[in-house]
Amino acid sequence: MLTSTLLAAATTPLEWSPTVGIIFIIANIIAIIFGKLTIKYPSSDPALPSAKFFGGFGVPALLATTAFGHILGAGLVLGLHNLGRI
């Protein structure tokens, strides 16, 4: 009984496509903008090799914003796939 319920809830597997990549890029850009506006000390140590290239972020801020961007992107991709949009 439980197995048939789980099989009925399963969807087709999601394959990578350029649309998925674009969604992740946009999600990371939004996360970096959000981080730039909200992180209190974005340039804390350790610093990145070229701070101007990375928007003045230090390593902790860069890792935090890109991690948030990947979480946001995964949620968007899985949600859109579940809705049948991609």
**How confident is the model over 2-13, as a mean pLDDT?**
66
Whole-angstrom distance, CA of residue 63 vs CA of residue 71: 12
Section 2-7 average pLDDT: 64
Domain ranges, ordered by start, for the chain: 15-83
Query: For residue 10, what pLDDT is reported?
Result: 63
Beta partners for residue 58, in sequence order: 47
37-49 pLDDT, tens digit each: 888 887 778 877 7
Give the mean pLDDT of 5-12. 65
Q: Is 20:77 a contact under the CB 8 Å cutoff?
A: yes
pTM, whole model, 2 decimals?
A: 0.76
DSSP assignment string, 26-59:
HHHHHHHHHHHHH-S-TTPSSBPS-TTTTTT-BH
